[in-house]
A and B are shown apart, each in its own frame.
Chain A
Amino acid sequence: MTTRLSINNLGVRYRRDGQEVEALKQVDLDVEAGECLGVIGESGSGKSTLALAIAGLLPGGTKIDGRIAWPGLGHAPLNGRDIGFVFQDPSASLNPVLTVGEQVAEVARTHLALTWREAFGLATDLLSRVRLPDPEAAARAYPHQLSGGQKQRVAIAAAIAARPSLLIADEATSALDTIVQAEIVALIRRLVAEDGMSLLFISHDIALAAQLADRIAVFRHGRLLETGETGELLRSPAHPYTRSLIEASLVSVEGE
């Protein structure tokens, strides 16, 4: 296996209201090509900061230590081209005044040097790949005409339009109900397998992440507590905190 992304001793600090907040401390993590890595943590664990750091989306003035290397890429990663990002709230990540097709085509056109006509054709294909019913009509629809689940499918289509080698899904299903959530998880799993992408699936829900992750990394208070192969980690977690997360999920299934 080749390493797609290698994070060494990453630390992130930023100032809020005059106080310095240490969002990530000494994080070492590798993502292999074609691997699905589940990043688990509760609010304030630094898991979203990690995603933003990888995508280079941290706000200006943030202090970043350590390094994030992309062996085999040969140049600095480009957002949209090498990294696809799916956010939690699909309504916030889509532009309300552009049609869905235009927004997906825009990504393809920017990064793949296509004409508008080609890009729009590709957008329609992508919308059918994310299983939107009637992709031709969907391409001409505006975001507000779609449901939450459909909007998230569009956001995924836009994220994979330029065939990135890494897809980051940051709580991408948290705003959706459980049935739609299961559909989106299945969709992401299929797309990642088809395109050979690496996936960073960021979630607070270990049970959900376990459904598609090969490996799981557990974060707490800005530190990486442990990583492990999914089945291994769930069966014998090294850290008591991981065990408590697993128990919280198990209990809800058992009933009492």
Chain B
Amino acid sequence: MIALRRFLRTPEAVAGALILAALLAMALSASWFFPRDPQSIAGPALLRPFQDWTLPLGTDRLGRDVLAGLFHGARTSLAVGLAAAAGAILIGAVVGTLAGFAGGVADEILMRITDAFQTVPGFLLALAFVSVAGPSLATVIVAITLGAWTGPARIARAEVLSIRERDYVAGARVIGMHPLEIVFREILPNALPPVLALSSVIVAAAILTEAALSFLGLGDPNRVTWGGMIAEGRAVLRSAPYLSIIPGVALVLTVLGVYLAGEGLVETSAARRMNA
């Protein structure tokens, strides 16, 4: 409760949380407000925003409802962002924890693999993976995860290296605890907070990567995505710039919201640790 109050006291965190709440509401209510397929034709082509109140944000080149696209696109962005970040943190935390706790050869091997992934830019990796595996929501998520787990892995390992030497880990060994239980019950939960602090950056980057993949036509073709909408509008950028600007603004706001809320969370937990 105290943590929540402290969280709500920082204005940036509140702004971030509000943006995220709006995004979540959009994603959840998309099929309720816009039950029709957002890819279907809803009206005349290239209708400008605020002309027709049944199509408030207008239509694109094929006469598809922009607002419906925005709502359904929020789903994709959120799903990909959260799933990829969760995957990256899970893989990173496990790899980093095992490397840090095992040490020696296992540590060397795991960290060299991490190095290998980290030297290739995450976006190129995602691009290559989707090109080979074919564009679908699942492959996009896996592709983004592949490039994003190395950061959490490094942080988890560094944290575990310091926790491993603490008395309470020695205490768990003295009491006869199995090494795997020590890793997953004593060490991992305590190594997690700094790793989780990365999550806002990863979610934001994942949303951007997904948009970039869709922009290049490598997103799931059966789903509306903001990146795909921006790409779609590019062809008529001079005559109908709103087609690119509207999903672009949505993207920027979302990334900003994720980031602000994440920062707020980090500060809250830091304040709690200072007081403890």
Contact = CB atoms under 8 A, between A and B. Distances in A.
**Is there any pair of Cβ atoms, one from A and one from B, under 8 angstroms apart in the complex?**
yes
Interface of A: 16-18
B40 interface: no
Q: Taking chain B's interface residues, is the majority helix, strand, or loop, or is none over half, making it mixed?
A: helix
A180 B223 CA distance: 72
4 contacts: A16-B275, A17-B2, A17-B275, A18-B2
Contacts of B2: 17-18
Interface in B60-112: none
Interface residues of B, number: 2
Q: Taking chain A's interface residues, is the majority helix, strand, or loop, or is none over half, making it mixed?
A: loop
Interface in B1-32: 2
Contacts of A16: 275
B107 to A, nearest CB: 25
A17 B2 CA distance: 8
B275 to A, nearest CB: 6
A209 to B, nearest CB: 29
A87 to B, nearest CB: 18
Nearest to B272: A17
Nearest to A15: B275
A47 B223 CA distance: 67
A16 B2 CA distance: 11
Contacts of A17: 2, 275
B138 to A, nearest CB: 45
Interface in B225-276: 275
Nearest to A16: B275
B3 to A, nearest CB: 11
Contacts of A18: 2
Nearest to A18: B2
A118 B182 CA distance: 56
A10 to B, nearest CB: 24
A16 B276 CA distance: 9
Closest 4 CB pairs of A and B: A17-B275, A18-B2, A17-B2, A16-B275
A16 B271 CA distance: 12
A164 to B, nearest CB: 30
Interface string B182-197: 0000000000000000
A20 to B, nearest CB: 14
B63 to A, nearest CB: 58
Nearest to B5: A18
